[in-house]
Amino acid sequence: MKLILIGRGRMGTLIRETALAAGDEVLAAFDVDDIDRLAEFNEKADVVIDFSNPASLPSVGAFVRRTGTPLVSGTTGMSAEQKAQLEALGAYTPVLWSANYSLGVAVLYRALRVVSDVLKPDFDIEVTETHHNQKVDAPSGTAKLLVDAIDPEGALTPVYGREGVTGKREKKEIGVHALRGGTVAGTHTVHFFGPDEELEFTHRAASRQIFVNGALHMAHLLPGKPNGVYDLQKILFGE
């Protein structure tokens, strides 16, 4: 495949190295410091892979609208308005966004969708996420993804950490807590605290390579699909 990469950070570098080793061709790589050059790029690509910064979205969006190139995005930290702008690109091409391209996280998301409604009436739910000390946004996009799996209707009120005299925990709360340190690639745990019992779901990433492999796998599957917005659930499970 012929790829355009957006982002030359750790993920972008790993994606480039892995793609080249697999025989894919990287036509160009851009980042926020030179993303304006994308407006002048005319070589035809099979897919754009964006693991950069929300600030790159206007340029990436303009390129996708101009060329109709399928877009695989793993950019996190977007506002609701930016996320809507990304999804609007589905009118021009197939667009796949995920906060986490791990197969294990995709399965965890599906499992939470199945069990959460059974547990929510009697269990308190807390989500903790741990990442390396260089991560700039919190909570992680994956934590937000898991909260969405647990509470797709938004009936629970997120509480991002607690401090001081907060009063007793409300039943309609869902705690979301971010830890930062070292070189942790990503650990996410969903805690269900019930009367006299506790259930935990934990996913641990040993390295960023699992996200790279997943993103490249999806990049091979996306071209040729009808225009629209996709996520891993739609691709893997047909939802």
- For the segment 71-89, what is each residue's pLDDT rounded down to a tens digit? 999 998 899 999 999 999 9
So what's the pLDDT on residue 238?
81
Question: How far, in Å, CA of 239 to CA of 231, rounded?
Answer: 9
Please pick, among 135, 144, 217, 225, the residue that the annotation labels catalytic. Answer: 135
Would you call 52 exposed, middle or buried from its count of C-beta atoms within 10 A (0-12, 13-18, 19+)? buried
Is pLDDT of 99 > 90?
Answer: no
Please pick, among 120, 131, 188, 203, the residue that the annotation labels catalytic. Answer: 131
131 is catalytic: yes
Average pLDDT over residues 23-33: 96
| Average pLDDT of every residue of the chain | 95
Q: Say if CB 22 and CB 12 are below 8 A apart.
A: no
135 is catalytic: yes
Q: CB neighbours (10 Å) of residue 153?
A: 6
Average pLDDT over residues 139-145: 93
Quote the tokens at residue 85. Answer: 């702008």
Is pLDDT of 111 > 90?
Answer: yes
Question: How far, in Å, CA of 150 to CA of 95, rounded?
Answer: 24
So what's the pLDDT on residue 235?
87
Q: Do the bridges between strand 124-131 and strand 173-180 make them parallel or antiparallel, or are there none, so unpaired? A: parallel
So what's the pLDDT on residue 100?
87
Question: How far, in Å, CA of 77 to CA of 184, rounded?
Answer: 19
Average pLDDT over residues 158-178: 95
Smallest CA-to-CA distance from 190 within 134, 108, 100, 126 is with: 126
Among 25-29, 114-118, 172-176, 234-238, name the one with the lowest average pLDDT.
234-238
Is pLDDT of 227 > 80?
Answer: yes
So what's the pLDDT on residue 239?
64
So what's the pLDDT on residue 236?
86
Q: Say if CB 223 and CB 71 are below 8 A apart.
A: no
* Percentage of the residues of the chain whose pLDDT score is greater than 90: 91
Q: Which residue has the tokens 């071209």?
A: 223
Q: Which has the higher per-residue pLDDT, 238 or 132?
A: 132
So what's the pLDDT on residue 204?
97
Q: Say if CB 142 and CB 210 are below 8 A apart.
A: no
Question: How far, in Å, CA of 47 to CA of 71, rounded?
Answer: 6
Q: Say if CB 71 and CB 166 are below 8 A apart.
A: no
